[in-house]
Amino acid sequence: MAKQKKKFDKATLGKVLRYIRRRLPLLCVSFLLATVTALLTLYLPILFGDAIDCIVAPGQVDFAAIGTLLAEAAAVIALTAAAQWLMNICNNRITYHVVRDIRADAFRKIQKLPLSYLDTHSTGDLLSRVTADAEQFSDGLLMGFTQLFTGVLTILGTLFFMVRLSWQIALVVVLVTPLSLIVAAFIASRTHSMFQLQSKTRGEQTAFVEEMLTGQKVVRAFGHEDEAMKKFDEINDRLNACSLRAIFFSSLTNPCTRFVNSVVYAAVALVGALLVISSGSADATEAAAGAFTVGTLSSLLAYANQYTKPFNEISGVVTELQNSLTCASRLFELMEAPAESDDSALPEMGKAEGAYTLADVSFSYVPEKPLIEGLNLTVSPGERVAIVGPTGCGKTTMINLLMRFYDVKEGSIALDGQDIRGVTRHSLRKNYGMVLQETWLKAGTIRENIVMGRPDATDEEVIAAAKAAHAHSFIRRLPSGYDTVIGEDGGMLSAGQKQLLCITRIMLCLPPLLILDEATSSIDTRTEQKIQSAFAKLMKGRTSFIVAHRLSTIREADIILVMKDGNIIEQGDHDTLLQKGGFYADLWNSQFED
């Protein structure tokens, strides 16, 4: 199990490094500035040690030399600060460009994911991956860039200077310090699974909050607030428990490594003090001759601090990287999900005439639960096809197959004699105009929502389409008319008004094929009659598929397909089906009986 986790971390790290490689010039500049920062920082203890040696002997204080050394130290500090500032700028740019690229690729992948993936994964969880997980990842990556480079360079540089000053003390430091690495590695290896559970639970919480916010009206209407709160508390408690556990164990890293570092510092002080005593009185002549002086000990103590400090930082970075890699792995899991098959090499479909042939079509969302089996249908150009039947019989599935949101498992669907799997999805869908029972509007102006299918439409064309959809009157009454800004999913517009705007989109585009899935379900009867009249004009010469529960809206259809359990059990126009006295007649009578 441990080996699998380690391999998983390496794989995720490799993917992250591929994104970092795109910022190689900035990375080189950051590494150069980190080197300058580390070297200048390590030079300071030498200067301060020399300054101490200038004032140790009574009555022999060399003020001129001290002044020169302090001026040099001030210049070094200023240069260090400038190099560190520039390095932080580079690190910030690298981090946020990397996270931006990963987020963009993740969002781009969402656009290519099949509906089967989106239908089986929580929207809130996907949202959590692209937002919260990406944010956590950026924090860990920034810490890594900020502290990892300088930390490693400081360790190597400190060892070099310590060996030059006293190889004995350097040996003591090298022998004791690895204990902090062992402690950090031990803790980090056990916190990965904890951070993984924390990230997963956070995604579950985001999904639940998104679900409750979307359905808040239903929650309140059914008095489900207490149950929703209990469910939220349960998830929140689990998140609290796993977060506390992960943070507690990861927080052990710093105090444990600090304890080891304090042992190192004490060992350096003890060995150094013994060396100073054994060297006798450290006067300027002896210092010049290379004797172990108080100034040398001071420099070594400073180096001992500088040497151990990066181990604290690196241990913190390792812990944070465990968390960030876990978040990154969730993003990469999304990005590596099987996308819709690439159809860029397929030919584009031109403007469709609308002749459909469905031959032996079989489809099921779940293999063990067949839905549509052996479906055959022929539709001539310009025909209006209504699809009716009980809930779950396959009406919406038919629409999904026609639009290639899902592909048939067996058989084929041909449009104008060409299998729809043999053309690009984009060119196929450009031929459709679609109005669903569930409306979708983006945050923006009324005009922006209407012209989604035709961005180049003129104001006159937009107004004409709105009048045809009987939406112009209510749009005109809005505070800024067509420039009124609405919020996500229509904001304060009523369900009927939102549906009228979706119908306006279709009236503006005038596509050769129409799909109307309960397109007037939220509209009052009087307006519905007017829109049905407008639809009748719109559908002339256009092949149309109409899904309806209210049978009164499809009386004029050329073909009515009566579906049950995924099969077409009756087919014909309204009068023919009534005369048969079959399932359609039962549906009709059930809606209009006294």
- For every residue of 510-560, DSSP letters joined together read --SEEEEESTTTTS-HHHHHHHHHHHHHHHTTSEEEEE-SSGGGGTT-SEE
Greater model confidence, 221 or 46: 46
Amino acid of residue 15:
K
Backbone angles phi, psi at 388, to 5 degrees: -130, 165
Cα dihedral sign, 134-138-139-141:
positive
Going by C-beta distance under 8 Å and a sequence separation of 6 or more, which residues neighbour residue 44? Answer: 73, 76, 77, 80, 302
Whole-angstrom distance, CA of residue 97 vs CA of residue 99: 5
Going by C-beta distance under 8 Å and a sequence separation of 6 or more, which residues neighbour residue 124? Answer: 203, 204, 206, 207, 208, 209, 210, 211
Distance, first Cα to last Cα, the chain:
68
pLDDT in tens, 90-124: 888 888 888 888 888 888 888 888 877 877 777 77
Match 């229509």 to its residue by tokens: 490
3-state secondary structure of 410: strand
Indicate the pLDDT class of residue 514, thresholds 50, 70 and 90. Answer: confident
Pair of tokens at residue 287: 């210092």
- Strands of 236-369 (E only): list them: 356-363
Supply the pLDDT for residue 218.
67
Indicate the pLDDT class of residue 291, thresholds 50, 70 and 90. Answer: low
Q: Are 140 and 214 a contacting pair, CB within 8 Å?
A: no
Amino acid of residue 170:
A
Whole-angstrom distance, CA of residue 140 vs CA of residue 191: 15
Whole-angstrom distance, CA of residue 10 vs CA of residue 6: 6
Which of 312, 190, 308 shows the shortest CA–CA distance to 248? 190
According to CATH, the topology of domain 356-592 is: Rossmann fold (3.40.50)
Q: What is the CATH number of domain 20-335?
A: 1.20.1560.10
What is the mean predicted confidence (pLDDT) over 145-170?
Answer: 78
Report pTM: 0.63
Residue 293 clears pLDDT 60, i.e. is over it:
yes
Residues of CATH 1.20.1560.10 domain(s) within the chain?
A: 20-335
Indicate the pLDDT class of residue 82, thresholds 50, 70 and 90. Answer: very high
The pairs formed by 456-462 with CB atoms below 8 angstroms and a separation of 24 or more are: 457/508, 461/508, 462/504, 462/508
As a residue count, the chain comes to 594
Supply the pLDDT for residue 289.
44
Going by C-beta distance under 8 Å and a sequence separation of 6 or more, which residues neighbour residue 534? Answer: 468, 469, 470, 507
Whole-angstrom distance, CA of residue 201 vs CA of residue 18: 28
- Strands of 328-481 (E only): list them: 356-363, 372-379, 384-388, 410-415, 418-419, 432-435, 444-445
3-state secondary structure of 367: coil
Backbone angles phi, psi at 346, to 5 degrees: -80, 155
Q: Are 19 and 101 a contacting pair, CB within 8 Å?
A: yes
Supply the pLDDT for residue 504.
87
- The radius of gyration of the chain from alpha carbons, rounded to an integer in Å, stands at 36
Whole-angstrom distance, CA of residue 9 vs CA of residue 153: 24
Percent of the chain with pLDDT over 90: 1
DSSP bridge pairs for 485: 445
Q: H/E element holding 563?
A: strand 559-564
Q: Are 87 and 142 a contacting pair, CB within 8 Å?
A: no
Amino acid of residue 70:
L
Q: Are 577 and 560 a contacting pair, CB within 8 Å?
A: yes
Whole-angstrom distance, CA of residue 339 vs CA of residue 490: 30
Backbone angles phi, psi at 364, to 5 degrees: -150, 145
pLDDT in tens, 341-361: 888 788 888 888 888 898 988
Q: Are 246 and 194 a contacting pair, CB within 8 Å?
A: yes
What is the mean predicted confidence (pLDDT) over 516-543?
Answer: 74
Residues of CATH 3.40.50.300 domain(s) within the chain?
A: 356-592
Reduce the secondary structure of 179-233 to three states and give it as a string. HHHHHHHHHHHHHHHHHHHHHHHHHHHHHHHHHHHHCHHHHHHCCCHHHHHHHHH
User: Out of 41-55, 250-264, 416-430, which region has the weakest mean confidence (pLDDT)?
Assistant: 250-264
Average pLDDT of the chain is 79
Match 């959590």 to its residue by tokens: 128
Going by C-beta distance under 8 Å and a sequence separation of 6 or more, which residues neighbour residue 289? Answer: none
